[in-house]
Structure 1
Amino acid sequence: MTYMQDRILVQEHLAREKEAPTLDEARANELRERIQEELKAQNAALVAHYYTDPDIQSLAEETGGCVADSLEMARFGSEHPASTLVVAGVRFMGETAKILNPEKRILMPTLEATCSLDIGCPADEFAAFCDQHPDRTVVVYANTSAAVKARSDWVVTSSCAEDIVDYLDSRGEKVLWAPDKHLGEYIRRSTQADMLLWDGSCIVHEEFKGQGLADLKATMPQAAVLAHPESPMAVVEQADVVGSTTKLIDAVRTMPNEDFIVATDRGIFYKMHEVAPDKNLIEAPTAGESATCRSCAHCPWMAMNGLENLLAVLQNGDQEIHVDAETREKALIPVQRMLDFTAQRNIKVAGNA
C-alpha cells in the first residue's frame, strides 16, 4: 500500500467516526423547522448533493434550494439570488461555489467533509506531474481542490467529461487527466482520445465487485444495471446504463424495468424513489475479501452532513469556505470554460429537438 492510499484509509476511518448521528423523528422535525427559519432570516439557499442524507435533500427541496449533481449545484449557486449558499456535500463543492460566487458567503455543515479523489491528488504533486507533460491539455474532474483546478485548462463533471474530451480530441489535443483513473479509462475507451491518467479512485465506487455483480445478475436477469463511470471497468462493462448521477436517476424514471442494480452511492436512492416510487433498487455488491470499509456503498464524508451541524453552521457561521483571490481567479477560468461549453451544448440539443 502506498503512502497516499494509507492516508486516504486513515481519513476515511476518521470520517466514519464523525458521521452525523441518527435522530428520532421529533428531534429531526424540530431541527428542520429551525433550519428553515434560519435560511429565510439569512437570505440563504441550501444546495445539496444527491449523496447526502435524505433529510437534507428533502429540506433543500422544501426550502427552494437545490438537490443535484456537482454540475447543477454549481449552476444553481451562480444563478440564485441568495447572499449565502449552504453547501451540503464535500469540500470541493463548497470551493467550486466560492470560485463562482466570490461575493457570496459559502457555508458548509462541516469543512472536514472531503473526498478520496481530492486527498489523492495533492496540488504540489499534481503540478509537478503537469510540468513533466507540458504538451498536454490538463483536464481535471470536479472532485479536486481549488488549487488543482487552478493548475488545469478544463474542469469537468461526469455529465460533461466525455463531450469535452471528445471535443479536445477533435482539435488534435492530447489530454492529461486527473484524478479518477476509472472515469478516465471509461472516457478514453469511448472517445479514443490520447489520455494520460493520474492514478486516483473513489473509495465508494472502487469497492463495487465485477464478479459479485455477475453473480447477482445471474439471479436477477430481469434487472437493469446502472453504473457510475467511477466504478471499475469490470462493473461498467456489465451495465445497461453508464453515466452521471442525473443520468442514472433519469434511467430509473424512464426504463420499463421494475428492478435496478445500482453501482453508485446509495444516497441516490432518495431521488430515485422520488421519481419512480414503484421501482425496486438494489445496491451493487461491495462485499468480498478486498473490501476496506464497513458500508462501502456510501461515502463517509457525505455522511458527515447532518441536520444538527447544518443548524449549527447557520447559527454560528464558523464553517465558511475561503479561497484566496489568486487561486480563485486561476480556477475560475477552467470552471467557467466548462459551464460555457455545457450551456452551448444544451442550446444545440434544444435546437435539434
Structure 2
Amino acid sequence: MVSEATYLFPNESKVNELVNVLKEKKIGVVAHFYMDPEVQGVLTAAQKQWPHIHISDSLVMADSAVKMAKAGCKFITVLGVDFMSENVRAILDQAGFNEVGVYRMSDERIGCSLADAAATSTYMEYLEPASRSTSLHVIYINTKLETKAYAHELVPTITCTSSNVIQTILQAFAQVPDLTLWYGPDSYMGANIVELFQQMTVMTDEEVSAIHPEHNVDSIKKLLPRLYYYQDGTCIVHHLFGHEVVEKIKEMYCDAFLTAHLEVPGEMFSLAMEAKRRSMGVVGSTQNILDFIKDRVKESLDRNIDDHLQFVLGTESGMVTAIVAAVRSLLEPAKSSSQGANVTVEIVFPVSSESISTPSLNSVEVGDIILPVVPGVASGEGCSIHGGCASCPYMKMNSLSSLLTISRHLPDEENRLSAYKAERFKLQTPNGQSVADVGCEPILHMRNFQATKKLPDKLVDQILHTKDKGVSV
C-alpha cells in the first residue's frame, strides 16, 4: 500500500523523460490496470502531456491501440501479459495497420495462469462433446489467440468479458432453441455464473425480466442443465480471495461497500452478491468496479453532507492506483470549494498477514483517501515477496525501465528488440486456416453482440450447423 500511494506522485523528471521519447518516436502505450504501481503512476501523469496513453482492462487495450494507430502512432507498446500483446497485434492487422509495430515489455515469456489453463489438450477435450450438438462456446477474452482459433474451429465460439458474460449467455439461450452452452476457462467465474442463475430461479418473473427481457423463471430453470463450465482454470490472483479474507471482511467491514471481480471464489462472490442486492456492492469486471466506486463518490458529493465511504476491493492490487487517482479527481475540486462537504474515502484491500510488518503500515493516507490493509490468506502462488498479496507476478514484469529502453531503441533498425516484438501468428489451425484470422472471429462476434445486443447471424448459422462440421482435434 505504501508503494501504491507513493507512485501517485511520480518523479517529474521520469514523467518528462517518458513523454519526450513517446512524442519523438510517435509511440502509443496501452497498459492494463494490474501493472506495476510505479509505471501506472508515471503513465497517469504522462497522459496530461501525451494523449496516446491508455490504462484499461484487456478488451479496451486493443481498441485503444487502433485509435492510436489512426491518430498517427508508428509503434504500440503493450504493458500486460502476452495474450494482450497478441490481441493488439491481431486487431491492428484486422484494422489494416500492419505497418504499426507492437512491442511487449520483456524478452521472456509473460504468462497468465488462466490463459495457460485453456492452452491445453485438456481444454479441447472438454469442448469435444460440444462439437456433436447444437452448441456455443463462450470463452473469456483473457485467453490466447491460438486457443480462440482452435476452439472456434471445433465449436462456434464467441469471446466475453466479465462485464458482458451474463448477457451473452442469456441472449444465446434466448436466441437459439435447444442450445447447449460451454463456458471457459475460468472455473470460479463459471461456478459463479451458475450460482447467479440458480438465484434467479427464486426471483419473480418481473425481476428476471429486468435482467434480460426474454427470460423468466421457467426459462432460467430450463437452461441450467444445458450450461457447462470448465473445472480446471483459475487466476492465481483471484484464487487468493478465499475463506479467511471473507471472514475478516464480515468481522471488520460488514457495513462497507463490497466489490468483487467475477473471477473470485464462491464465498467472496456470494458476499458481494448479497451486498449488491442491498445496493451496497458490485460484482463484475475491473471497469465495473471502478465505475461503481466513482458513482458512489459522486452521489455522496451531490448530497453535499459530510460523509465517509468504505470500499472493500476484491481484485488485484494494481487497481488501487487507478481507483485512488479517479477518486482524487472527484474529491479535490469539492475540497477546494468553501461550501463543499467533507467527504473521505477508505479503500480496504485484503493482503497477507505476513505482508504487514509493522502497525504503521496498516494504513496509508493520500489526502482524503485512506488505504487500510485487511489480513487475508497466509500465503499463495502468484504473490509478491511479502506473501499472499493478490498481486500478479506476470503483470509486474512490465517495468518503467523496459518501457523507456524499448522506446529509445525504436525504430528497431538494428533488430535489437526482436525478442520484445509481438510477432504475427504463422501457425495454421487443423483445417489449414490462419490462426490469426480464425482467432479474431470470436472477438468480432462479441463486437457485433456489443453493438446489437444479439448474436450475429453468422454465428447463429455456425451454431445450428455445429453437428455437420465433423472437425477432429
TM score, norm. by length of structure 2? 0.63
**Aligned structure 1 segments of 4 or more residues deviating by more than 6 angstroms:** 23-27
* 1:284 matches 2:350: yes
Task: Give 2:327's aligned amino acid.
Answer: A
Q: What is aligned with 2:206? A: none
Distance 1:291 1:174, change over 3 A: same
For residues 209 and 242 of structure 1, what CA distance do their matches in structure 2 show?
A: 16
1:84 aligns with one of 75, 94, 103? 75
Q: What is aligned with 1:299? A: 392
Q: Cα deviations across residues 127-162 of structure 1 (Å, max 9, x unaligned)?
A: 333223312312211111111111231111112211
1:336 aligns with one of 444, 449, 466? 444
Q: Cα deviations across residues 291-332 of structure 1 (Å, max 9, x unaligned)?
A: 344143111111111110111222345211113251110011
1:71 CA drift (Å):
1.9
Q: Cα deviations across residues 220-267 of structure 1 (Å, max 9, x unaligned)?
A: 232111100100011011112111111101111122561111110011
For residues 223 and 26 of structure 1, what CA distance do their matches in structure 2 show?
A: 27
For residues 271 and 247 of structure 1, what CA distance do their matches in structure 2 show?
A: 13
Q: What is aligned with 2:282? A: 241
Q: What is aligned with 2:228? A: 196
1:155 aligns with one of 143, 152, 159? 159
1:123 CA drift (Å):
4.4
* 1:165 matches 2:169: yes
Q: How does 1:1-353 map to 2 (within 5 A)?
A: 29-58=12-41, 59=43, 61-62=47-48, 63-64=50-51, 65-80=53-68, 81=70, 82-102=73-93, 103=98, 104-110=100-106, 112-134=109-131, 135=133, 136-150=135-149, 151-152=151-152, 153-170=157-174, 171-172=176-177, 173-191=179-197, 192=220, 193=223, 194-198=226-230, 199-239=232-272, 240-255=281-296, 256=300, 258-277=309-328, 278-284=344-350, 287-288=376-377, 291-292=380-381, 293=383, 294-316=387-409, 318=417, 319-324=420-425, 326-345=434-453
SS, match of residue 328 in structure 1: helix
Task: Give 2:25's aligned amino acid.
Answer: Q
For residues 45 and 209 of structure 1, what CA distance do their matches in structure 2 show?
A: 38
For residues 26 and 185 of structure 1, what CA distance do their matches in structure 2 show?
A: 40
SS, match of residue 31 in structure 2: strand
SS, match of residue 143 in structure 1: coil
Structure 1: tracts of 5 or more residues without a match: 1-22, 347-353
Distance 1:31 1:108, change over 3 A: farther
SS, match of residue 341 in structure 1: helix
User: RMSD between aligned alpha carbons?
Assistant: 2.6
For residues 275 and 73 of structure 1, what CA distance do their matches in structure 2 show?
A: 19
250-259 vs 188-197, which moves further: 188-197
Structure 2: tracts of 5 or more residues without a match: 1-5, 198-219, 273-280, 301-307, 329-343, 353-375, 427-433, 455-473
For residues 200 and 314 of structure 1, what CA distance do their matches in structure 2 show?
A: 35
Answer yes or no: is the 8 Å Cα contact 2:425–2:435 preserved in 1: yes
259-268 vs 60-69, which moves further: 60-69
Task: Give 1:237's aligned amino acid.
Answer: S
How many residues are paired up? Answer: 324
Distance 1:46 1:169, change over 3 A: same
Q: What is aligned with 1:351? A: none
For residues 263 and 274 of structure 1, what CA distance do their matches in structure 2 show?
A: 18
SS, match of residue 271 in structure 2: coil
For residues 295 and 36 of structure 1, what CA distance do their matches in structure 2 show?
A: 35
Q: What is aligned with 2:468? A: none
Answer yes or no: is the 8 Å Cα contact 1:32–1:307 preserved in 2: no
Distance 1:338 1:298, change over 3 A: same
164-173 vs 95-104, which moves further: 164-173
Answer yes or no: is the 8 Å Cα contact 1:78–1:101 preserved in 2: yes
Answer yes or no: is the 8 Å Cα contact 1:28–1:307 preserved in 2: no
For residues 315 and 124 of structure 1, what CA distance do their matches in structure 2 show?
A: 41
Answer yes or no: is the 8 Å Cα contact 1:48–1:56 preserved in 2: no
Answer yes or no: is the 8 Å Cα contact 1:109–1:312 preserved in 2: no
For residues 244 and 126 of structure 1, what CA distance do their matches in structure 2 show?
A: 24
1:25 CA drift (Å):
11
1:67 CA drift (Å):
1.0
Answer yes or no: is the 8 Å Cα contact 1:92–1:142 preserved in 2: no
- Higher relative contact order by CA 8 Å / sep ≥ 6: 1 or 2? 1
For residues 33 and 330 of structure 1, what CA distance do their matches in structure 2 show?
A: 41
TM score, norm. by length of structure 1? 0.83
For residues 217 and 330 of structure 1, what CA distance do their matches in structure 2 show?
A: 46
For residues 84 and 43 of structure 1, what CA distance do their matches in structure 2 show?
A: 7
